Chains A and B, each alone.
Chain A
Amino acid sequence: MDKQTSNEKSEKSRKESGQSVQSVIPKNRQELLKWNGWGYRDSQFTVKNGLVQFTGKRYPIGEAVLPYFTQWVCDIFDVDLSAEVKPQPLPKEEDFPSPVIVQAFLAEIEMLKIPYSLKGIDRLIRSHGHTLNDIYTLREGRYGRMPDVVAWPDSHETVTKLVEIANHHDVVVIPFGGGTSVSGAVTCPSSEKRSILSLDTSQMNRILWVDEDNLFACCEAGIIGQDLERELRERGFTTGHEPDSYEFSSLGGWVATRASGMKKNTYGNIEDLVVQVRMVTPSGVLEKKSQVPRLSCGPDFNHVILGSEGTLGVITEVTLKIRPLPLSKKYGSIVFPDFESGVCCLREVARQRCQPASIRLMDNAQFKFGQSLRPSHGYFGLLLDGLKMAYITKIKGFDLAKICVTTLVFEGDPKDVELQEKKIYGIASKFNGIPAGEKNGERGYMLTFVIAYIRDLGLDYKVAAESFETSVNWDRVVSLCHNVKHRISQECEARGVKKYLLSYRVTQTYDVGCCIYFYFGFNWTGVKDPLNTYETLECIARDEIIASGGSISHHHGVGKLRSKWYPIQVTDLGVQLYKATKKNLDPNNIFANGNFINNSHL
């Protein structure tokens, strides 16, 4: 009894001490964000007078006309920029399917004073992530099963109660964070007959405390990446965790999918950053009772939570490492004569373990794409301009059709950065790499955030596109890329897909291998079922990746999109172990989003 009250007390004091954060993203997400596309409503690629431009002022290429990019799009995909495919409008409230409601459950929610909504639009925008399937369906298709109720709990305690009553009333709970999933993880299983609650974590986004002595901070799981960074920055800290989606994705989502940040070389991936994490399950709260740096105490159950993809419970609070802000940050880039040399260089850098905060290698297609994404008006330092291009092609003898570029981010003490730069450029020169300036590097990273907007432009003009990634050992990097490219070209040909692009880049490097990120898109003119064709092709690409020694995923997770390959990756015994865990933590299967293993097989 005594213990309980003290616990309650500490919870209460935590709650009060927590600093509430004004999020960039409002509770009504659709006010700021597109309901059927990526990112901010005011930022998008549009076509005006036959030229592509980017709207809004949020990104450096904002409000600029992009003639080179227009040309590139036409060359690669042969699109007709005068024939826009307009997406279907937002349905009227009465057109949404009526929700499956458990009255007693709603009554209890009301009693607990948890805000909730039964509105169609609220349910719709929490019924999907950002796979091609999700977005294509929003634009063109018939919506499938969507959540019946959306609730916004505001703390660990509320979540605990919510899960308890949901379990009691056999209501399915699907946690929803930033909604940037690309694995179909938040999609409602179409066969689910029970009432589905979308548990939106966005309102539980406080920074509960910051411990400057030990350099960690405890945050509620709903906090959005950019909010977290902004707040910490004000105090002179950073988590250093910057996944490409960090403007919109949530801390809980990162943990639930085992996210990876761009600067993991300096700061680590999410599993390296997490010190402690709480997950509310129908059987209780799973957490490690300690914040010590390391434990030798049996299997680490944090790893049951990391990557659980909302199938075992809701992640409510995360204690994660923070770092003092670096004194300086510098970009850089290196041009290589071909992809193979670039890979060799990255491999050598990894061998010497001297990676800067970020080091990425883009293939020729992405290199060209990057070059095209520039406004017509004065842009300096461009690689292909004037003398530099002459130097690279004429004197160095690089072939423009093979050239690749590595982009770099250095962080730290100015002196350290200088040393690091020297070392990296030294290694690069052994593999015929030529430094190509800071500007190119900076552009590379800036584009990372913009690239995500391109898919919507593609869909406007009959181009289906998507990205997928894998993790692979060093000796197989080149052959894997090559195999996937070869296979895709054959399969496209077999399906009458004439204009397509498959491009890849190495985005993370490790001791034993690296992460490869693919972009694939094609013009679907003349193709019968574009969505199905795309999905078949991606599935074939994944088969090829796995056959070439790659993994099912590096940081996107499994979800439903890749559950087909889950058993071969973890073995049958692994599947059994997962099922046993699931049975124990969630005996009624209310966290029934069906990731990893189809519900009917549980």
Chain B
Amino acid sequence: MSLSKKNDILEELRNMYYVSFMSKSWNPSLPNKNGIKLTVEDLIPLILRSVRVQLTMQKLNRVNRLPMLELQSSVRSSLEDLGHHRNMPVIRWVGIALCHILKKNYKGIIVNEESIKRVKAKMGSNPVIFAPSHRSYADFILMSFLCFYYDIEIPVIAAGQDFQSMWVMGRVLRECCAFFIRRTFGGDSLYKAIIAEYVSLLIQFSHTALEFFIEGTRSRSGKSLLPKFGLMSMALEPYFYGKVPDVTIVPINITYERCLEDSLFSRELLGAPKPKESTRLLLRALQVLRENYGRVFVEFGEPISVKKFNSADIQTRDLRVDLNQASSFYKERRYPGPQVSQRVKDLSYSVIREQNRIMTFLPVHIMAVSVSLWLGFDDNVPLEKVETDVKYLRNILAVLGYSVELKDPVEKEIIEALKMYSRVMYLCERERTVKLHYGVASTSGASDHIRSSRLTEQTLTEAYPIVFLQIYANPVCLACIHICILNFVMCTASKVSEYTKDSLFKDYSFFRTLLQVEFVLYMEDTNLIKNDFVNAIDHMCTLNLFFTATTDKEAIDLSNIEALRNRDQEALLLGLLHPFLTGYALILKLIIVMTSEVPDHSEQELRFHLQKKLEDEISIGHFIPKYVLSMDLIINALTAYTMMGALQKWQKGESMMIRPIVSVCRSIQQDLEIRLVRLQYLIEACYQRSSFDQCRKQKFIVCKL
């Protein structure tokens, strides 16, 4: 971003009494000047009267013989239960508490003010959606706080229903403009109608922005989740029906130097169940908040105009026309329909892409890559090695256009970061190496929690810090995914020099398809895939990896390939994919084996089964990254294989059953395994070459001298 003026809010707050800050007179700018203030009280009568809810009630009345009055009062009471309010005194008091907590535990909240100014300048004439990334509970509280700080009307937030049951907190959040929706609607048509109407009315008439998390839930793994389309499609309904001129979507990235929930997430990734949200847990979390949580970086992305997004391709007809020519649009259930669904999908993926494009990378992200890679081979990593790796990666990220907060001297920043993560890793001063603290938990609650995982104590102890680190390494994988894939394809090809642009694209597409769920890679826009591919080659030219820049658009230049090979850099990029590809290959192998005994498994059962089997593999295998135990990875792999037609899913009673299509599985397995052997070889070679022991000795000698 050429325009960036980073501002530390906390710095400013430290210089003033926060009580006086929170009680400042406040004249917020309105994201949609044509709207009005709307709270649940205003919405209830409108929702009750709406065609959508009326029709649904009538149907329930007819089919299920539910009396209308009862239905009406149930609509009313559920709205009273879930709806949002806007209580300024509560907002101010929460703000004061928040100021206190933030000041105590955070080093800085760094906001790119230019990006906010840009967004503010573009707001005003139509409805706005704030779409922040979701990595922590803190996200929406922080968002509202920022809006207060930058004089933007507090957005109405669609929050997950699990927060509602929290004692006091549920109520407080509702006073601060949050409303709650269930994670799934099941078959509850009335509930769906109520929510659809709620969202639609907010978009049409509210003067403030609607905020929701397009990923649907907090990502445990540190990288984006596949977008959910339900809420987005509801929110865009007024646009597609021509009720509003446009909708502006503002992708927002919030990056935590240390995420509040990192240890919880590590445990959940290892298979411990998600604890029920409760105020008790929150208070405990607040107690945890004695540590230093570093900095938070907030960046507002380029606002997306839904109208422009939809008219970018002149050939396609304005979808709104079809919807509006319908004779009875609520009855016919024409919305969203296949075309609108497709647009909503395209749009949602674009939002996620933008959220990632504007992410800020911090020392911890970059060093986590190096540390978690080499700790798979050795029990400690020389600081020097980490430093070289970090420099490499910093350069790569910069070439890819990301903003990286890592100053020279790099060593100092690494040591700073190590301090912040002292719970999982530390610097052995004597050896000048980075080591891990094995073991799982700091508090008794946490150790109880993780024991609910089905893995053995031994495995958990070893895997926990690795998984923890991987959460921080993952965003880097996501950021570099395209060049990672190309690098992998090139490194592991039997004959690199025989690649043509077409064959290279074919292999790139194959691995992109394989990793589409893991790294939210959109597969339905062929132009986008082509673009990503071409850009990745450009980036590799710039990075002097394999390719030489060429003017011929249809060809690739591999003439300098030997001169351009940089084994260390290659190994690092290979390392980024290592856990994922290894995991995916193993999972495929295990499924084929498992299902040769019992052909059908329920999905739920299969996940834990796989995790257990993977644990066995680790205990006998060589250099299998422990992150393959991550439930997230297992679920993603299953989803990806289903999308690729290697697995078949079907509903059996309550549960989802899975069966492999063995022929497809085998063909994928073949492609994958040969390459994986080479990948492991190359990484190992790199490890041998840099021979840590030698490194240590040298350092030792240097120290002595």
Contact = CB atoms under 8 A, between A and B. Distances in A.
Interface of A: 476, 479-480, 482-483, 485-487, 489, 543-544, 546-549, 568
Interface stretch (B225-233, B243-251, B607-615): B243-251
B456 interface: no
Nearest to B126: A486
Given A483-B242, A487-B245, A548 B125 contact: no
A489 B125 contact: yes
Contacts of A480: 242
A514 to B, nearest CB: 16
A479 B246 CA distance: 11
A398 B623 CA distance: 76
A547 B244 contact: no
Contact of A476 (B126, B243, B318): B243
A483 to B, nearest CB: 4
Interface in B284-326: 307, 318, 320-321, 324-325
Q: What are the 3 tightest A-B residue pairs by CB atom distance, in nearest-first order?
A: A486-B245, A548-B242, A547-B320
A549 B324 contact: yes
Contacts of B242: 476, 479-480, 483, 547-549
A482 B238 CA distance: 13
Given A479-B243, A547-B318, A486 B125 contact: yes
B192 to A, nearest CB: 22
Interface of B: 34, 125-126, 204, 241-246, 307, 318, 320-321, 324-325
Interface centre among A483, A543, A544 (most CB of B within 10 A): A483
Given A486-B126, A489-B125, A547 B243 contact: no
Contacts of A485: 245
Contact of A547 (B34, B125, B204, B321): B321
Given A479-B244, A485-B245, 16 more contacts: A476-B243, A479-B243, A482-B34, A483-B244, A483-B245, A486-B126, A486-B245, A489-B125, A544-B245, A546-B318, A546-B321, A548-B242, A548-B320, A548-B324, A549-B241, A549-B242
B246 A486 contact: yes
A568 B321 contact: yes
Contacts of A483: 242, 244-245
Contacts of A547: 242, 318, 320-321, 324
Contacts of B204: 479
Nearest to A484: B245
B245 A546 contact: no
A164 B243 CA distance: 51
Nearest to B317: A568
Nearest to B51: A475
A298 to B, nearest CB: 24
Nearest to A483: B245
B325 A568 contact: yes
Contact of B324 (A487, A489, A546): A546
Nearest to A489: B125
A423 B242 CA distance: 34
A544 B126 CA distance: 15
Interface centre among B204, B242, B324 (most CB of A within 10 A): B242
A568 B326 CA distance: 11
A152 to B, nearest CB: 43
Contacts of B126: 486
Given A486-B125, A549-B324, A568-B325, A543 B318 contact: yes
A36 B255 CA distance: 66
Contacts of A568: 321, 325
B253 to A, nearest CB: 27
A486 B241 CA distance: 16
Nearest to A487: B245
Contacts of B318: 543, 546-547
A485 B244 CA distance: 11
Nearest to B325: A568
A341 to B, nearest CB: 13
A479 B325 CA distance: 16
Contacts of B244: 479, 482-483
Contacts of B245: 482-483, 485-487, 544
Contacts of A476: 242-243
7 contacts: A476-B242, A479-B242, A483-B245, A544-B245, A546-B321, A546-B324, A549-B324
Interface centre among B126, B241, B307, B324 (most CB of A within 10 A): B324
Contacts of B246: 486
A486 B308 CA distance: 13
B63 to A, nearest CB: 27
Contacts of A482: 34, 244-245
Nearest to B329: A549
A479 B243 CA distance: 5
Interface centre among A479, A480, A485 (most CB of B within 10 A): A479
Contacts of B34: 482
A480 B34 CA distance: 14
A230 B286 CA distance: 87
Contacts of A489: 125
Nearest to A546: B321
B235 to A, nearest CB: 16
A547 to B, nearest CB: 4
Contacts of B125: 486, 489
A541 to B, nearest CB: 12
